[in-house]
Structure 1
């Protein structure tokens, strides 16, 4: 039997605004997954399709790519800031490892921060990252765990260098191998102490 307008059809009813929270959550989940798999410039229609929503729904929640990326990666920064609050001198090494893990797992996070710096002067992600690193670095230096010659700008330079390795590696496993070699070869310099 061919369904007509009078025939019951097995379809989920449009719940309108009641589905807004679920739709937003599905969009963010899909965005995190596709940004990680395909990079920051993955088509937004692919994210909408992955989330099971129409493009109009995606754009109602996130009119711009950067807004979507900020929301998708906010938990990266929140996790980083939470860890930075640990007063242990070893926190700095753990922050560095987390930053590398996030970069290997989600290189799009770094792409988003770089693009945000150029496009959205109000974005405070890099400032938040600097503040978190600075407090942990200061404690590590006071404990003698990290050289006094290292500063936050040097850490962020090392991070950008690591991103270059990650962005050009054929796979995450090869990215980790290359990062380990790079930091091992820098054993006499400041980068070696960052690795913890």
Structure 2
């Protein structure tokens, strides 16, 4: 039992923006994993738990599930843009990053499928991916960017089941289309550091 005369223990210092940015990045990474495992309807409490933060922190950063999924999508697109900006980047290497996201991010798969005209944010993100792919050195591929976006959507449609199976399915789908992709990998962005 505590003695009312004892002074209260000191409160930890508020670490402000630094912790907030770290929590936001952790929530996005956790959401990508949880959504990939359980789908977009996974409990947001599972995302908060995986990120190591409370649900209050999740809702301070993201008003709802849609805002969280949009943040995951935005981070995916930033990674693809960063991959295209790497020295020596080719269409093959960038497609490796795109495919990594297709196999791990349910929200990203949905983005790459044809979206409705009323989905302004989805269209904007999709256009950013389109611009990246259009600007990549083709490395022997002669696909128009519209065909390439369709190929990405087709590959994403082939992806289902456990992670190792999704990777095999994605790579097999690219092979059927006659397109080589680089290693499946994420790209670190400023949000990751």
TM-score (norm 1): 0.70
Instruction: Name the SS of the counterpart of 1:192 in structure 2.
Output: coil
Matches within 5 A, 1:98-177: 98-111=97-110, 120-123=119-122, 124-136=124-136, 139-140=137-138, 145-147=140-142, 150-167=143-160, 170-177=161-168
Instruction: Name the SS of the counterpart of 1:166 in structure 2.
Output: coil
Deviation by residue 1:123-145 (Cα, 9 ceiling, x = unmatched):
42101000000111xx32xx6x1
38-47 or 21-30: bigger deviation? 21-30
Counterpart CA distance in 1 for 2:118 and 2:60 is 21
Counterpart CA distance in 2 for 1:114 and 1:193 is 19
Q: What is the aligned partner in structure 2 of residue 55 from structure 1?
A: 55
Kindly indicate which of the two structures has a greater share of residues assigned to helix. 1
Aligned partners of 2:27 and 2:47 also within 8 Å: yes
Q: CA RMSD in A?
A: 3.4
Larger radius of gyration: 1
- Structure 1: gaps (5+ residues): none
Q: How many residues align?
A: 177
- Structure 2: gaps (5+ residues): 183-193
Deviation at 1:112, TM superposition (A): 5.0
Counterpart CA distance in 2 for 1:194 and 1:155 is 12
Instruction: Name the SS of the counterpart of 2:159 in structure 1.
Output: helix
> Relative contact order, CA 8 A, sep 6+: which one is greater?
2
153-162 or 116-125: bigger deviation? 116-125
TM-score (norm 2): 0.71
Structure 1 residues 182 and 52, CA gap change in structure 2 (3 angstroms): closer
